[in-house]
Chains A and B, each alone.
Chain A
Amino acid sequence: MSDAGSDALLEASGVTRLFGGVRAVDDVDFKLRRGTVHGLIGPNGAGKTTLLNVIAGALALSGGALRFCGHDMARRSSAERARMGVRRTFQNVKLFADMTAVDNVAVGLHASTRCGFFGAVLRTPRCSREEHSIRERCIEALRFVGLDGRAQTRAGALPYGHRRLLEIARAVVAMPLVILLDEPAAGLNEIEARHISQLISSIRDAGMSVVLVEHHMDVVMQVCDEVTVLNHGRRLASGTPAQIRGNPEVIEAYLGRPADTPDARA
């Protein structure tokens, strides 16, 4: 309502996060437009994941403002933000290892379902119905990421690539407005990475907006509508993938100045 005229779904302005004296994220402006994939790239230690954690609510802001659909987000817990429609995946995949794949996804529907302890213990008809629809939606989400054949497999027993997909399924099942993906293609081979690219595009096509932290440049260049480059916690540049690719400052941040020792590109 209040952001009429701008189509920013998620807006960070002057966001700062300190760790002691270290400014991990330093006065960063960031705008996620509705229905787009926004890439967040930069060398290791540039503050990408920190920024993502600040947006998700896992880390508190040290300064600046964070708005989502016109609401101030700064003081909300990560669970509240998830309920409002900001979901995430983690850099080091965080699944519920002892639960089946479908149960993992079902946890993602927690916020949009209602049965509590008494519903569980008394097995009321309303809760049976709810559980039934949870199952259906979970299977649908598993099919969406291509894991419908593994619904009953224990999450901890899935191969690494599948675990990444399962985490995405858990995030998309609730159809949130925003999905924060923290290096979804890390550690995957080319084929799997391509599958992730396609998946991110279909997530956008399904109406969700994506913030993507990623090191795989192929993935970033393929799927992003917009890219923001961070370096040493500050925003270095932002623009379309083509603009970023040609930006001399970005190239320098990644490869170092010609006279410098080159910074290893991840």
Chain B
Amino acid sequence: MGSSVCGSGAPSTTCVRMIPKFASEVRRVLANFGIGTLVLFGLFVVPWIETDKFILHVLSLIAIASIAAMGLQVLLGYSGQLSIGQGAFYGIGAYASAILTVNVGVPFPIALLLAGTAAALASLLMVPITRLTGAYLAVATLGFSILIYLVLKNEEWLTGGSFGFIGIPRPTLFGFVLRHPMHSYYLCAGVAALAYFLLARIDGTRFGRAINAIRQDADAAAASGINVTFYKSQCFVIAAFAAGIAGSLYAHEVRYLAPNDFSFWKSIEILIMVIVGGMGSLPGAVLGASLVVGVPELLRELGDYRMPAFGAILIATMLFGEGGLAALCRGIARGFGAVLGRIVPSWQPRKMLP
């Protein structure tokens, strides 16, 4: 509102008077986004402190997984729809991007957006099943995930079938090839940060209230004039778009796609990220993605015991309660906060807590 006053040919004194207002606005934004700025700065300096290529690669994978998990957070944590089909949209995004860049010669940034769009369009197939809820919806989306896996595996002419899809180019931005792991890390982390920034804005808006209302009581939401199917479908599209973007980044990060990477297990993984991270919490989705992608890498030395150990960690995390890692971090932050003042007021998984 303020900026339109300045821009619409108002006398310059109006603009002068607005300077202190603007300054206080900046201060307010800094206060609100202090944590965000810190995290962004942290993300920015990481590759200078930690130059190991493999670790940067893992961090990129975490960023990619975070994007898919944040999408599912909107679908599951906000609108309350349990989908075990996000792996399908991830796969569609990955293969769409690979096919577009390799077979059609589309430049990477456009392929990235088209991959998200392809996944979003595919998610429109979900519209008829949005009237399902809970376990029924979960099984239906799982079925979709299995179907897409079979398509990726069997349509050899398009996807390379079980031989996999090879020769995917490195991402390029405006003619600049992101050859170094540090560059692709910046790409993935940048897209993840952008996704976070955008999705975090849903809260406290008409759209955010509508999907939260649907999760908490669909009857009461409908009685307030909310078109429940329309909003549920929108959440499917948003989640699928995010998964598609993530898939595209993944394709250009690993540069080789095998259908087994997109089996229903991938859907389960994305679901675990959201639940372990804390339902309804966007930072939780990022924490969950870090756990699900990062911990198995940390546990590599355990050899055969790696996955059982990972399973045990998952169980242990859930013992902390429904709020997941987000609530755990909030608890820790609160503990520190008692000493250091209020540190992380915005890290609250408001939704699912009793």
Give the B-binding residues of A (Cβ under 8 A).
56, 58, 77-79, 82-83, 87-88, 90, 94-99, 103, 106-108, 110-111, 113-117, 119-121, 123, 125, 127-132, 134, 170, 174
Give the A-binding residues of B (Cβ under 8 A).
1, 3-4, 198-199, 201-202, 204-210, 212-213, 216-217, 219-228, 234, 238, 350-353
Partner of A110, one of B202, B225, B351: B225
Closest A residue, CB atoms, query B199: A121
Asked if B205 contacts A78 (CB within 8 A), the reply is no
Asked if A120 contacts B205 (CB within 8 A), the reply is yes
Distance from A257 Cβ to chain B, minimum over Cβ atoms (Å): 38
Asked if B209 contacts A107 (CB within 8 A), the reply is yes
Taking CB atoms, residues of chain A closer than 8 Å to B234 are 116-117
Asked if A98 contacts B220 (CB within 8 A), the reply is no
Q: How far is the CA of A113 from the CA of B238 in the complex (A)?
A: 21
Asked if A96 contacts B206 (CB within 8 A), the reply is no
Pair count A-B, CB < 8 A = 109
Asked if A125 contacts B4 (CB within 8 A), the reply is yes
Q: How far is the CA of A34 from the CA of B190 in the complex (A)?
A: 58
Taking CB atoms, residues of chain A closer than 8 Å to B202 are 117, 120-121
Distance from A176 Cβ to chain B, minimum over Cβ atoms (Å): 9
Q: How far is the CA of A107 from the CA of B205 in the complex (A)?
A: 10
Distance from A109 Cβ to chain B, minimum over Cβ atoms (Å): 8
Partner of A106, one of B199, B209, B222, B227: B209
Closest A residue, CB atoms, query B280: A98
Asked if B224 contacts A108 (CB within 8 A), the reply is yes
Closest A residue, CB atoms, query B225: A111
Partner of B222, one of A78, A99, A117, A170: A78
Taking CB atoms, residues of chain B closer than 8 Å to A120 are 201-202, 205-208
Asked if A56 contacts B223 (CB within 8 A), the reply is yes
Given A117-B207, A121-B198, A123-B201: A99 and B216 interface contact (C-beta under 8 Å)? yes
Q: How far is the CA of A72 from the CA of B75 in the complex (A)?
A: 35
Asked if B212 contacts A96 (CB within 8 A), the reply is yes
Q: How far is the CA of A107 from the CA of B206 in the complex (A)?
A: 7
Given A96-B212, A103-B209: A117 and B226 interface contact (C-beta under 8 Å)? no
Asked if A130 contacts B225 (CB within 8 A), the reply is no
Asked if B206 contacts A116 (CB within 8 A), the reply is yes
Taking CB atoms, residues of chain B closer than 8 Å to A113 are 206
Q: How far is the CA of A162 from the CA of B151 in the complex (A)?
A: 55
Partner of B350, one of A58, A79, A98: A98
Taking CB atoms, residues of chain A closer than 8 Å to B207 are 115-117, 119-120
Asked if A98 contacts B212 (CB within 8 A), the reply is yes
Closest A residue, CB atoms, query B221: A107
Taking CB atoms, residues of chain A closer than 8 Å to B199 are 121
Closest B residue, CB atoms, query A94: B220
Q: How far is the CA of A78 from the CA of B224 in the complex (A)?
A: 9
Closest B residue, CB atoms, query A154: B350
Q: How far is the CA of A115 from the CA of B206 in the complex (A)?
A: 6
Asked if A58 contacts B219 (CB within 8 A), the reply is yes
Please list 11 pairs of residues, one from A and one from B, whose beta carbons are closer than 8 Å in the complex, sorted by A's number. A96-B212, A98-B351, A98-B353, A110-B206, A116-B206, A116-B207, A117-B207, A120-B206, A125-B4, A131-B205, A134-B206
Q: How far is the CA of A123 from the CA of B198 in the complex (A)?
A: 10
Distance from A247 Cβ to chain B, minimum over Cβ atoms (Å): 33
Q: How far is the CA of A106 from the CA of B350 in the complex (A)?
A: 18
Distance from B97 Cβ to chain A, minimum over Cβ atoms (Å): 23
Distance from A253 Cβ to chain B, minimum over Cβ atoms (Å): 30
Q: How far is the CA of A113 from the CA of B210 in the complex (A)?
A: 12
Asked if A79 contacts B228 (CB within 8 A), the reply is yes
Closest A residue, CB atoms, query B211: A117
Taking CB atoms, residues of chain A closer than 8 Å to B220 are 90, 94-96
